[in-house]
Amino acid sequence: MRLCGQEFSLGILDRIREVVTSVPEISRRALSRRVCEWLNWRSATGAWQEGGCRKALAQLVRRQVIELPAAPALFTPRQPPTLEVEDLSVSASLEALGTVELVAVEAGSLEAQTWRALMAREHYLGDKPLCGAQLRYLVRSEPYGWLGALGFTSASWALKERDKAIGWDDAARRHNLRQVVANARFLIRPGVQVPNLASHVLGLASRRLPADWEARYGVRPLLLETFVDPTRFPGHCYRAANWMDVGITSGRRDGVAKHIFLLPLVGEWRERLSAKPRDGLRTSPRAPASNWAEEEFATVRWYDERLKRRLVSLALDFFHRPQANVPEACASRAGTMAAYRFFRNHQVNLQAILTPHIEATIERIRQHRIVLVPQDTTTLSYSHHPATEGLGPVNTTRDQAVGLLLHDTVAFSVEGTPLGILDAQCWARDPEEHGKSEERKKLPIEEKESVKWLNSFTRVAEVQALCPETLLVSMGDRESDIHDLFALAARDPAGPKLLVRAERTRQRRVENEALWDFISHQPPAGEITLHIPRRGNRTARTVLLPVRFAEVTLQPPRGSRLPPVDLWAVHLHEEHTDDPEPIEWMLLTTVPVHTFDDAVERAEWYAARWGIEVFHRTLKSGCRIKDRQLGTATRLQACLAIDMVVAWRVYYLAMLGREVPDQPCTVFFEEVEWKALHCYHYKTSVAPDEPPSMAQAIRMLGQMGGHLGRRLDGPPGTQVLWRGLQYLDVAVQMYITFTCSPPPRIWRSYPEGYLSRPQAP
């Protein structure tokens, strides 16, 4: 749980509860100091961030996550200033005042009393206290004394027109807002009638404030802001001092819409304030969730709870009705309109939605010794909706199909269970560049689509650093046979490994010999029997494949500055066959291959790459993403992110029935769901006391989706399961109606001992 910029893990929350229980008399200030020490939570100056910590503790209490002793009684009311100030009447030119200077006001000083007295007597807001970080100044002229006063505080949290003028997003605003300071008070005494004095004082303040603010708070401001009440002041002095009028407020605070003025303190203020923080993947134990969607999206980087709730609601709706369009899935006009507003929100995008799921996937990866991570590209055609903005060509020039391209990376256990998505890159091709493949060959890889393979491997390397006890193996088909990718994988021996199927047309060379010729001269290390399933009009068959392997040094392409790369090659080739398409795999890997068993294992790993093809079929056919109508490519990508997580969940369900068939189905289904499933399947109104096994529940769900369940039929696949889930949702609603059961809630956990059982070496 992230509050006030800090991650409060389950361990930290338990320590807070333990301290409150063992030391009930502890004050909130003392508790906040301890929490700051545990988290090493400091301000920019190095001091403990106790104020922010107390605010976070208060939020935890409001959310009923922790209980704290009652807060102490409020401080005594603020006493009015005791110092009296004399009237001042000055009518002269600015030059006649002599040197005008700013005097910093320190708490408890005589200047502080003077500042309060001037505000109480002559400012229309009176002596109200300033909130948050603050600096105060008095304006003094040697001949005339105190001419006025200023006060600066922390900036406003959110202002539509200011934020539009800066151009930052929510993440950048939260990270950089401390570099914006508000001019909360400005007083030129009523008796002082000096032309240009106000703008002169504002100029003095803008030059002095940055150094003073940095000295006190450790942050140098880049921008000043203030508000001018148009019913009282025209704001001429701010304009004369080069402040920009960027719009008006909504007036929600006191019913008066005020003009917003900004003063940049540096030339590149927009670029620096709009810079997004580097927010990498983070993992920590998660608080209990009421359903799987809350578990997957718990760490989403949104600070509007309404967006989080809508994301969870949409994920559950899409999962229960995976083949429905948005209005059908949301099941009401209000829900549909809320979904469309959600996808129009500028904070909602593919990466923002997938990041929390990736972090949940990392937690599952950590439970395995070896994880296979295939990456692949698929096309998403939206030719039925050509009016959608931002689409590009996805096929040949003659085809004229438009849509998006998706390059994703999915993690699998060695047994084939999908653990989750690790990366997704989605883009539309430029129509002007379509059909210019020859010209693209001359570009560096950073300017080609091929960089997608390197980007995916970089993300896997980031995950590998967070899972040091797990071996991650990035895999790709023949399109990924790129020397840049091998060179990237070879740079860090502690990084993830690489397993790629070589493309013969690349004309790879080992020293002075072609790779295929070199490996064919190696004696077979053994043979393996492989069953080829039926595909289209081709019947199923069993083949015997000789296996060869050798350590090779792969030479870079001609003209490349990349270094040679040491790899292992594993070759499987179907010999002496009449089949027009004999089986042949040339696998290149950075994982050592010293024995025949090692070579067979690498081939088995690559065979598991088929899982990502199943995932794509589930995504495109099961979730029917091509039928989404959202107006723009950006909104389609945001919806695609939810569909990807739903497709993973359906695929996970299919594999769970095969991996742990004897476990009770409560590892996936809530009580009301498995009871409704049983009653629907057996046409009875009485549900059993004990839940069926996972295998039995999957078979019943599959038959709801059209699986025949004959003796020789295999277990249900994703296609019939997503249809079954749609019918199950109706069955659950009917079961609830007839039994008055509570609404369904999908359990978030895994079978006991499933993730921790020994994995294949």
Is the predicted pLDDT of residue 680 greater than 50, yes or no?
yes
Q: Let me know if residue 685 belongs to a domain.
A: yes
- Per-residue pLDDT, 755: 40
> CATH no. for residue 697?
1.10.740.10
- Same domain for 99 and 52, yes or no, is no
- Same domain for 574 and 526, yes or no, is yes
Q: Let me know if residue 367 belongs to a domain.
A: no
From 551, 576, 594, give the residue that closes a domain: 594
- Per-residue pLDDT, 214: 93
Between CA 411 and CA 467 the distance in angstroms is 13
DSSP string, 507-553: --EETTEEHHHHHHTSPP-EEEEEEE--BTTBPPEEEEEEEEEEEEE
Between CA 553 and CA 567 the distance in angstroms is 6
Contacts of residue 231, Cβ cutoff 8 Å, sequence gap at least 6: 256
* Stretch (H or E) spanning 164: helix 160-166
* DSSP label of 472: E
Between CA 607 and CA 624 the distance in angstroms is 27
Is the predicted pLDDT of residue 421 greater than 80, yes or no?
yes
- Same domain for 146 and 237, yes or no, is yes
Q: Let me know if residue 221 belongs to a domain.
A: yes
Comparing 400 with 352, which gets the higher pLDDT?
A: 352
Q: Let me know if residue 94 belongs to a domain.
A: yes
Look up residue 600 and give its two tokens: 């067979």
Cα separations in angstroms, 522 against 109, 127, 503, 525: 89, 90, 19, 9
Between CA 761 and CA 754 the distance in angstroms is 17
Q: Let me know if residue 519 belongs to a domain.
A: yes
- Same domain for 38 and 175, yes or no, is no
Range in 71-75, 200-204, 400-404, 597-601 with the lowest mean pLDDT: 71-75
What's the residue count for the chain? 761
Range of the domain at 102: 90-274
Q: Which of 494, 450, 447 is nearest to 471 (CA)?
A: 494
Q: Which of 40, 35, 1 is nearest to 18 (CA)?
A: 35
Cα separations in angstroms, 507 against 443, 511, 587, 589, 747: 20, 12, 14, 17, 52
* Stretch (H or E) spanning 205: helix 197-217
- Same domain for 535 and 680, yes or no, is no
Between CA 196 and CA 198 the distance in angstroms is 6
- Same domain for 99 and 24, yes or no, is no
- Per-residue pLDDT, 758: 40
- Same domain for 137 and 187, yes or no, is yes
* Owner of token pair 């899935």: 329
Q: Return the percent helix, strand and coil in the chain, to nearest 5.
A: 40, 20, 40
- Same domain for 48 and 105, yes or no, is no
> CATH no. for residue 210?
3.40.630.30
pLDDT in tens, 465-512: 999 999 999 999 999 999 999 999 999 989 999 999 998 888 888 877
Is the predicted pLDDT of residue 759 greater than 70, yes or no?
no
pLDDT in tens, 102-152: 999 998 899 999 999 999 999 999 988 898 889 999 999 988 999 999 999
Residue 737: band (very low, low, confident or very high) from pLDDT cuts 50, 70, 90: confident
- Per-residue pLDDT, 542: 79
Comparing 162 with 72, which gets the higher pLDDT?
A: 162
Contacts of residue 335, Cβ cutoff 8 Å, sequence gap at least 6: 313, 317
Between CA 36 and CA 559 the distance in angstroms is 56
- Same domain for 241 and 121, yes or no, is yes
Q: Let me know if residue 661 belongs to a domain.
A: yes
- Same domain for 152 and 247, yes or no, is yes
Q: Is the dihedral of CA 345, 347, 349, 355 positive or negative?
A: negative
- Same domain for 101 and 216, yes or no, is yes
**How many domains does the structure of the chain reveal?**
4
List the beta bridge partners of residue 135: 152
Q: Which of 223, 227, 224 is nearest to 270 (CA)?
A: 223
Between CA 731 and CA 710 the distance in angstroms is 24
Q: Let me know if residue 569 belongs to a domain.
A: yes
Q: How many helices (H) and strands (E) does the chain have?
A: 24, 23
- Same domain for 694 and 576, yes or no, is no
- Per-residue pLDDT, 479: 92
pLDDT in tens, 219-257: 999 999 999 999 999 999 999 999 999 999 988 878 889
Between CA 732 and CA 630 the distance in angstroms is 30
Judge whether 238 and 228 are in contact, CB under 8 Å: yes
- Per-residue pLDDT, 623: 63
From 44, 62, 80, give the residue that closes a domain: 62
Q: Let me know if residue 635 belongs to a domain.
A: no
- What pTM was estimated for this model as a whole? 0.74
Judge whether 166 and 274 are in contact, CB under 8 Å: yes
